[in-house]
Each structure stands twice: as C-alpha cells, then as structure tokens.
Chains A and B, each alone.
Chain A
Amino acid sequence: MIELMAPCGGWEALQAAIDNGADSVYFGVDQLNMRARATMNFTLGDLPEIAERCSKAGVRTYLTLNTIIYDHDLSIIKKVIDEVKNTGITAIIASDQAVIAYARQKEVEIHISTQLNVTNIETVKFYAMFADTMVLSRELSLSQVKKITEQIVKEDVRGPNGELIEIEIFGHGALCVAVSGKCYMSLHTDNSSANRGACIQNCRKKYTVIDQETGTELAIDNEYIMSPKDLCTIDFLDQVIDAGVKVLKIEGRGKAPEYVATVTRCYRKAIDAYYAGTYTTEFGKELMKELETVYNRGFWGGYYLGQELGEFSSKPGSLATQKKVYLGKGVHYYPKAKIAEFKIEAQSLKKGDKILITGPTTGVYETVAESIFVDDEQVAETKKGDQCTIPLEQRIRLSDKLYKIVEA
C-alpha cells in the first residue's frame, strides 16, 4: 500500500496527522531544515516524545536535515543525527553529502530530499549506495516517474537496507516557481536563502515589468505570474499509484494543524478507496471540495500529467472556502458527563456553529456546538467574557484553542 506522509510544524499538527490516518510524518528541529523561519519548529529535546507518540500509533517518523550545510554546522548535524539514532526516529531526509555521509556511517536510514532533484535512474542508482527512499523532482511527468520505478525493479536497484528503492513524490501542497529547492530569488533580494530554509516567498507577490529605457510599465495579463497554484493529485491518484510510487508526501510544515488534518484525511480516504476498488475520478473531485476548505492557492495537477505549463494563482494568499475565527480557550473537561468548559475571549459562539478545537495533545477536533450552556442555563449565543460549557464527545485540555469555522 502507498504510504501517506504528512507534514508537522508542531505538536498540534503532529497529533492531527496521527489522528487522520498518516502512515508517516516529517518535521524539522532547530534551524537546519527547510522551514527555518517557522517559530513552531520542534527542538532536539522534543525527539524522544515525538518518537514515542508516533511509534505507539504505528506512525513512522522522518526528520528533515536538508538545508545546505556550512562548516560551522558540522558539529550540530552530528549531534542531531546521533540524537535520531538514540531516540529511534525512523529516518532522516537529507540533501547535503556531509549529512548523508555521517548518517550512513551511523547506520541511520536516509531519505533523499527534493533538494537533490532526482530526475533519472542513474541518479537513483548513485544515491542507492546511501539511501532507501528518494523523492523525485516535482517537475517530472508521471510517465517519467513510471519509467524510473520500472527500471528500479528491472535493474534490481536496492538500498542499504537490502530492499528495492522506494520512490516518493509530492502529492499535495505548494509548488515553487523555480525548480524545487533551486531558487535564489529570496537570497538575492533579501539575503534570505531559501536553501537555508528562510525563503521569504517573494514569488507570491504582484509584479510589473518596467522598460528601463522609456520607463514604460508593462501590464502583465496574470498579475501573479510567479506564484503557481497548489499541487493536487487527488483526482488522478490511481495514476500516481499505478506509476509505482510508494510514498505520497504532503507539503506544508508551515501550515496550520487543521490543514494537516483535512488534507491527510482526504488523501487517506482516496488511498483506502483505491485499494478497496471503489476509487473514481469523481470521488477524487468530491474530496477536492473538502480540500478547498483549507489554505490553497487554487489547484492544478502540477507537471505530472504533462499538461501545458504554468497555472498561476489569481489572488495573493489563500482561496480557501472556509476560515477559522478565534473564540477562546479550554478551561476544563468533565470526562464522565462529557462536557467541555471554555472561556470565550473574543467574538461570540452561536448554537449550531461549526467549531474547531486545537491543542498539542488534542490535535485537531472539528464538530458542531449542538447546545451551549452558561451558568447551567442553555443559551443560543455566548458573549465575550462568558465561561460556557458544551457537551463534547472527545476530551479537550486546558488552554486548547477554540475557533468557529465560517465561510470565507
């Protein structure tokens, strides 16, 4: 069965990925990963708990260590890899040869990062000396992917663990205007290297072209000419699996926990339907509606179907059909009565509102507020400052965040 890999930028997203059917998760620690700017990155000290939580749930764990590496980083990467070995994290995702060499020496499983842009079978054979799983470049078509996976079987290309090389592709999430991971735009304009995980995403902005000689401004038909739509493969997932792909990766370590929950859940449903023999393109399109509720720049199938290039977004930011509005914090949960108590700090909650609760242990919990009580009286609406109780099937914790979901 194809493995579904979900991104985790923090504890909430990690729990959401586990609860929604991810087979594996990937995450970064400290500064040496492709989301170095994210304030919510885990630290080295979090690894034992991540490993424990995931192994209990039967979920594999991959640590990203895939930036370019300078001399001054050499001792920290060794420390990180040693810690991966000690805590039982499944594998590291690497691109720099310094990282690959040390991890191999320590017999830590290696996955090749998209930063290395693997695009042909000879490269696969080369990295097979070190790695068991490789993500192929997002710029390949599915027929090119299929040729590579067929060659792996035909030529019996095996990794250090003795198994055939597993091919992974990106299935969903943001695409880069440059060849993935080879962009220097952010570095040139703001000294902020995408290859050190500090991309400022200036490709997502509006630009005009000015003729330097005459000063004439040229209007560009598509104003977001450098901002591609997001990749989505859910409506041709059968072709992805038939191409021999073994791991489907969801992009988005910088995204919110409910994004991870929704996207993981949708792809889980699609994958399960495929193996049950009930998957159809129509079913995929239905799931796409659900995917549209969370952050997206509009969807296209990327380069996989070999279509004409360049599907660019029409707006800055997200086209999501729903958004969350912060309401307040969790105060207490009465497990016997199954009642949750919240303090409303902003806006108001009405009976029948769709609510979202997130927390490091709770993960992501979406439900409907069927009834609301303030001071033991049933009310139709709460005010700011109210301490309210809602009957909830699932346990919530102190300081969990309560949101309502509204149409965007």
Chain B
Amino acid sequence: MLVVTLQRDKCIGCNYCAELCPELFRMSKKDGKTVLLKSRDRKGFHTINTNEIHTYEAEQAKKACPVNIISVKTV
C-alpha cells in the first residue's frame, strides 16, 4: 500500500504535483493550493492510503515539489 502525505498549508501553488501526478493531486480553484484527492486532514497533514500503482507518479511529484511538503511511503 502507498501512503501519500501533503503538508498543505505550506503549498505555494506551483502546480508541479498536479502536472506530474494528476491521479492524486489537483489544484484548488478556491485557494490556489494543491489538493491531495480523497485525503484526510490531520492537523494540517493530509494523508491517503492508495494503490502502489501510483508510486512512480507520486515519487515524481515528491521530487519536483519546491517546498518539500509531499511524502511518499510504501507500507
């Protein structure tokens, strides 16, 4: 299982994650920051458990994030 976490308040809205991993990330039209789709918010850390099929794209998004707020783990 793949666990992806986003520390959303620090997002600067650069769009890279949504570009590289559109299955998991989408830019919010409301506040201009990224949204980790279907995630749960725990004190600002938004997390989803998802299929490992997304590993490559999620890793790409993590690598591209200029403010290092995406973490990707296989458990």
Identify A31's interface contact among B12, B30, B64, B65, CB under 8 A: B12
The answer to whether A198 and B30 touch (CB under 8 A), given A191-B66, A192-B66, A193-B66, is no
* Contact count band on A: 20 to 34
Q: Is the Cβ of B32 less than 8 Å from the Cβ of A191?
A: no
Of B13-21, B36-44, B45-53, the stretch lying at the interface with chain A is: B13-21
B12/A191 in contact, CB under 8 A: no
- In angstroms, Cα B31 to Cα A37, docked, is 17
Looking at chain B's contact residues, the main secondary structure is: loop
Segment of A55-63, A70-78, A83-91 in the binding face: A70-78
What is the minimal beta-carbon distance from B22 to any residue of chain A, in angstroms? 13
How many angstroms between the C-alpha atoms of A192 and B64 in the bound complex?
9
Is A242 part of the contact surface with B, judged by Cβ < 8 Å? no
Interface range for B = 10 to 19
Interface check A328, CB cutoff 8 A: no
On whether the beta carbons of B66 and A70 are closer than 8 Å, the reply is: no
Q: How far is the CA of A39 from the CA of B11 in the complex (A)?
A: 11
Q: How far is the CA of A190 from the CA of B14 in the complex (A)?
A: 12
Q: Closest chain A residue to B28 by CB distance?
A: A72
Please give, as numbers and ranges, the residues of chain B lying within 8 Å of A200 by CB-CB distance: 66
- Given A31-B11, A193-B14, A196-B12, A72–B27 Cβ distance below 8 Å? yes
B33–A191 contact, CB under 8 A? Answer: no
**Are the C-beta atoms of B13 and A72 separated by less than 8 Å?**
yes
For residue A70, which residues in chain B have a CB less than 8 angstroms away from its CB?
Answer: 13, 15, 27, 32
Chain B CB within 10 A, most for which of A72, A190, A191:
A72
Is the beta-carbon distance between A73 and B32 smaller than 8 angstroms?
Answer: yes
How distant is the Cα of A31 from the Cα of B33 in the complex, in angstroms?
9
**Chain B residues with CB below 8 A from A31, complex form:** 11-13, 32-33
Q: Which residue of B lies closest to A186 (CB)?
A: B66
CB B6 to nearest CB in A, in angstroms, measures 14
Q: How far is the CA of A161 from the CA of B16 in the complex (A)?
A: 40
A32 touches B66 (CB 8 A): no
Interface bits A17-52 vs B (CB < 8 Å: 1, else 0): 000000000000011100011010000000000000
Which of A73, A74, A76, A198 interacts with B66 by CB under 8 Å? A198
Q: Which of A39, A72, A75, A197 contacts B15 (CB 8 A)?
A: A72
Per the bound structure, the CA–CA distance linking A197 and B32 in Å amounts to: 14
In Å, the complex CA distance between A197 and B64 comes to 16
Q: Which residue of B lies closest to A76 (CB)?
A: B32
Q: Are A36 and B27 in contact (CB under 8 A)?
A: no
> Which residues of A are interface residues toward B (Cβ below 8 A)?
30-32, 36-37, 39, 70, 72-76, 190-193, 196-198, 200
Q: Besides A31-B11, A72-B32, A76-B30, 15 other CB < 8 A contacts?
A: A39-B10, A70-B13, A72-B28, A72-B29, A73-B32, A75-B29, A75-B30, A75-B32, A191-B14, A191-B65, A192-B66, A192-B67, A196-B12, A197-B12, A200-B66
A and B contact pairs by CB, cutoff 8 A, 15 listed: A31-B13, A70-B27, A72-B27, A72-B29, A73-B13, A74-B29, A76-B31, A76-B32, A191-B66, A192-B67, A196-B12, A196-B13, A196-B14, A197-B12, A200-B66
